């Protein structure tokens, strides 16, 4: 539960609102206590205790400190007629109840404001940490689990914080006020009632542990549910083509069943706590009635005192009864808080530390020196002893069978991963020793799996270069041969793209990605099968544009088009995580068997589909 209290303390950042909320809760509770005292006086008058309001006010003054005493002039104005006294007390209690309810509303309103502002900060902090996590860490955790912690777990945490600040404090205040009045009316009966408190606490604590454990498992199952549904819906075309609807439904149903089982388990424990608490309360009430009846029959207690003590204890019990449910909500929030804290404790991506030197714009060479990289839970290295030197301004095409390490090699340049052995140098500087922002600001990337955001066409091109003007955006689109289809859209550059670019074709999405890279004006251009979704005519135009744009820049290309390979200054052939040969097309055809197979079976000539 330490994680929950860590987040609960964050509410103190809104100290003024918290103090006001607690003050309102105290006023509401004080109003309840005074109301009970007023009701006691009404009962005594009705039962003929021969007391009037001036006498009652005088007796009250004997118990109050000097600063709180009722002035004698006010006492003199009070009526002596019993019926008039009852009317005065009822009117006064009605006004007091109105003020108490107003204070209670203010407490609830302020508490909700504090909780939701705190949750907003926590969610923003979690998201900021997630986007700064190392890519490998995010791959290990899974996107669905991360989103579940960011959205679902923070929602559960909000319920717990609301239960604490908005509900628990109000109920405890009212229960405490009623309990104090019970002590005022008769301390003996009140102490007897409190004997059951340790037993009640033990029951609540035992059940709360079980609820927290079940809640943690339920949250984990819900994360699996997110993952299963996200995977199936994102790959819905494949699911349909392979007629795997039944399999996916069965898989979803299995995970959904486990999630529901854990949730039901937690709810069963919560449901069990209520009858146990009521049983203890009834046993305590029976004991109080037996003892009080002896006091009354012996003349040691007035009936009015018994009635008001019992009524105050009943109000205290009614106020404190919801606390068991709130404690369970807080325990569920504790399980969510632990998962959120685990995410926040994950170390951020290296290279963002303050004080790291800035990498000057690339002008000389890129070197891979003895690079070895292995993905987690993989026995074979993705890259094994890579030594490669690339001159500034050189266009290098990297080819190889699937799984040969081409994309992984390019990922090291942008420091999406760090090698376990060896290093990558830009102009002689190990990229692990410089600011990662200064490195990535020099890199433009276009991948086979294009990323398009739900935003306007212009904003998608401007992504990563927020200061670009509209004219610069249009120029980048023209150079990427994207202006033709953009201007044909109803709103042109202001047209909003659907989720994941669903309103555009694959080729259109790739042209936007290429325009985005052009606008960035990078020193290093990385193209990972960037023209794989473009028809031959478009590819010829884009290839010409990219050739012009690549002048004076280091260009690294993973390609499956023969034209792209032929236009490169050098071809690097990879297989099994190693570089097996490098050179020009004709040279490699003569001496490299791996390249010959690639050229025959993988490289597509212009015009082929």
Per the domain annotation, does 107 fall within a domain? yes
Share of the chain above pLDDT 90, in %: 20
Nearest Cα neighbor of 444 from 461, 456, 429, 430 is 461
Distance of alpha carbon 395 from alpha carbon 553, whole angstroms? 8
Length of the chain as a residue count: 609
Per the domain annotation, does 355 fall within a domain? no
3-class SS at 51? Answer: coil
Distance of alpha carbon 272 from alpha carbon 206, whole angstroms? 11
Poorest-pLDDT segment among 392-406, 452-466, 502-516: 502-516
End position of a domain, from candidates 457, 492, 521 = 521
- Whether 122 has a pLDDT exceeding 80, the answer reads yes
Answer whether 251's CB lies under 8 Å from 233's CB: no
**Predicted pLDDT of residue 607:** 47
Q: What is the mean pLDDT of residues 388-402?
A: 92
> Which range in 99-103, 292-296, 328-332, 389-393 is most confidently predicted, on average pLDDT?
389-393
What range does the domain containing 305 cover? 2-345
- Are both 465 and 334 inside the same structural domain? no
Rg, Å, the chain Cα set: 37
Distance of alpha carbon 518 from alpha carbon 128, whole angstroms? 27
Distance of alpha carbon 112 from alpha carbon 170, whole angstroms? 13
End position of a domain, from candidates 312, 345, 378 = 345
Q: What is the DSSP string of 346-400?
A: SPPPTT--TTPPPPPPP-SEEEEEEEEE--TT-SS-SEEEEEEEEETT-EEEEE-
Per the domain annotation, does 16 fall within a domain? yes
- Whether 47 has a pLDDT exceeding 60, the answer reads no
Q: How far is CA 398 from the centre of its chain?
A: 39
- Are both 105 and 231 inside the same structural domain? yes
- Are both 480 and 340 inside the same structural domain? no
Per the domain annotation, does 264 fall within a domain? yes
Exposed, middle or buried: residue 579 (CB in 10 Å: 0-12, 13-18, 19+)? buried
- Are both 96 and 225 inside the same structural domain? yes
Nearest Cα neighbor of 319 from 174, 204, 200, 196 is 174
- pTM passes above 0.85: no
**Predicted pLDDT of residue 606:** 46
Question: Which residue did the predictor score with more confidence, 61 or 609?
Answer: 61
Alpha carbon dihedral 443, 449, 450, 451, in 10-degree steps, equals -90
**Predicted pLDDT of residue 43:** 56
- Are both 337 and 459 inside the same structural domain? no
- Whether 594 has a pLDDT exceeding 60, the answer reads yes
Nearest Cα neighbor of 382 from 349, 416, 352 is 416
Question: Which residue did the predictor score with more confidence, 592 or 169?
Answer: 592
Q: How far is CA 323 from the centre of its chain?
A: 27
Q: What is the mean pLDDT of residues 78-105?
A: 73
Placement of tokens 């990297």 in the chain: 398
- Are both 58 and 204 inside the same structural domain? yes
Question: Which residue did the predictor score with more confidence, 102 or 451?
Answer: 102
- Are both 181 and 304 inside the same structural domain? yes
Answer whether 376's CB lies under 8 Å from 140's CB: yes
**Predicted pLDDT of residue 236:** 66
- Are both 453 and 325 inside the same structural domain? no
- Are both 222 and 75 inside the same structural domain? yes
- Whether 283 has a pLDDT exceeding 90, the answer reads no
3-class SS at 447? Answer: strand
Per the domain annotation, does 434 fall within a domain? no
Per the domain annotation, does 284 fall within a domain? yes
Distance of alpha carbon 408 from alpha carbon 420, whole angstroms? 13
Question: Which residue did the predictor score with more confidence, 241 or 170?
Answer: 170
| Domain containing residue 486: CATH number | 3.40.50.300
List the structure tokens of 252: 């979803």
Per the domain annotation, does 544 fall within a domain? no
End position of a domain, from candidates 292, 315, 345 = 345
- Are both 336 and 453 inside the same structural domain? no
Alpha carbon dihedral 496, 499, 504, 507, in 10-degree steps, equals 120
- Are both 111 and 259 inside the same structural domain? yes
**Strands laid side by side in the 365-373 sheet:** 383-391, 365-373, 421-426, 429-430
| Domain containing residue 261: CATH number | 1.20.1560.10
Give the chain's mean pLDDT: 79
List the structure tokens of 450: 């294009």
**Predicted pLDDT of residue 205:** 67
- Whether 558 has a pLDDT exceeding 80, the answer reads yes
Element containing residue 311 per DSSP (H, E): helix 303-320
3-class SS at 419? Answer: coil
Backbone φ and ψ for 385, nearest 5 degrees, come out as 75, 50
Distance of alpha carbon 514 from alpha carbon 547, whole angstroms? 12
Per the domain annotation, does 57 fall within a domain? yes
**Predicted pLDDT of residue 286:** 66
List the structure tokens of 465: 């270069």
Distances (CA, A) of 59 to 51, 73, 526, 579: 10, 16, 89, 98
> Which range in 425-439, 460-474, 478-492 is most confidently predicted, on average pLDDT?
425-439
Structural domains counted in the chain: 2
């Amino acid at each position: 539960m330490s994680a929950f209290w860590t987040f609960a303390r964050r509410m103190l950042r809104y100290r003024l609102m918290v103090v006001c909320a607690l003050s309102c809760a105290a006023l509401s509770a004080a109003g309840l206590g005074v109301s009970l005292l007023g009701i006691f006086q009404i009962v005594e008058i009705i039962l003929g205790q021969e007391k009037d309001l001036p006498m009652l006010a005088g007796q009250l003054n004997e118990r109050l400190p000097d600063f709180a005493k009722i002035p004698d002039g006010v006492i003199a104005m009070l009526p002596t007629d019993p019926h008039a006294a009852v009317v005065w007390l009822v009117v006064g209690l009605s006004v007091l109840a109105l003020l108490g309810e107003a204070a209670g509303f203010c407490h609830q309103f302020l508490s909700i404001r504090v909780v939701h502002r705190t949750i907003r900060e926590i969610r923003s902090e979690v998201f900021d940490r997630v986007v700064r996590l190392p890519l490998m860490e995010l791959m290990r955790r899974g996107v669905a689990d991360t989103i579940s912690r960011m959205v679902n777990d923070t929602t559960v945490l909000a319920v717990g914080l609301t239960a604490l600040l908005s509900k628990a404090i109000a109920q405890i205040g009212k229960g405490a006020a009623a309990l104090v009045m019970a002590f005022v009316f008769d301390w003996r009966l009140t102490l007897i009632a409190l004997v059951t408190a340790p037993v009640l606490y033990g029951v609540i604590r035992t059940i709360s542990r079980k609820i927290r454990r079940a809640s943690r498992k339920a949250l984990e199952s819900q994360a699996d549910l997110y993952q299963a549904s996200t995977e199936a819906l994102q790959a819905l075309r494949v699911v349909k083509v392979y007629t795997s609807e039944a399999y996916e439904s069965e898989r979803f149903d299995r995970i959904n069943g486990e999630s529901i089982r854990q949730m039901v388990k937690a709810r069963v424990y919560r449901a069990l706590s209520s009858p146990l608490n009521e049983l203890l309360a009834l046993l305590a009430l029976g004991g109080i009635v037996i003892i009080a009846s002896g006091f009354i029959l012996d003349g040691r207690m007035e009936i009015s005192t018994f009635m008001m003590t019992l009524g105050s204890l009943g109000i205290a019990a009614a106020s404190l009864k919801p606390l068991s449910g709130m404690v369970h909500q807080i325990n569920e929030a504790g399980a969510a808080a632990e998962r959120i804290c685990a995410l926040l404790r994950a170390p951020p991506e290296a290279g963002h530390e303050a004080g790291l030197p800035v990498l000057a714009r690339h002008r000389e060479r890129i070197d891979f020196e003895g690079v070895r990289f292995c993905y987690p839970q993989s026995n074979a290295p993705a890259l094994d002893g890579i030594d490669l030197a690339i001159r500034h301004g050189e266009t290098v095409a990297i080819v190889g069978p699937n799984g040969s390490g081409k994309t992984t090699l390019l990922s090291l340049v942008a420091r999406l991963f760090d090698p376990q052995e060896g290093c990558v140098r830009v102009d002689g500087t190990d990229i692990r020793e410089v600011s990662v922002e200064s490195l990535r600001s020099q890199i433009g990337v276009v991948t086979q799996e294009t990323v398009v955001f739900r935003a306007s066409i212009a904003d998608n091109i401007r992504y990563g270069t927020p200061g670009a003007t509209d004219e610069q955006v249009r120029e980048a689109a023209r150079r990427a041969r994207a202006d033709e289809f953009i201007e044909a859209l109803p709103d042109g550059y202001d047209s909003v793209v659907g989720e994941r670019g669903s309103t555009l074709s694959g080729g259109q999405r790739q042209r936007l990605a290429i325009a985005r890279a052009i606008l960035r004006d990078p020193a290093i251009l990385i193209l990972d099968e960037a023209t794989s979704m473009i028809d031959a005519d478009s590819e010829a135009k884009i290839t010409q544009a990219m050739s012009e744009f690549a002048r004076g820049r280091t260009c690294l290309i993973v390609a499956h088009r023969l034209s792209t390979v032929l236009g490169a200054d050098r071809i690097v052939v990879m297989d099994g995580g190693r570089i097996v040969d490098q050179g020009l097309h004709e040279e490699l055809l003569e001496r490299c068997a791996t390249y010959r197979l690639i050229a025959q079976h993988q490289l597509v000539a212009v015009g082929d589909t």
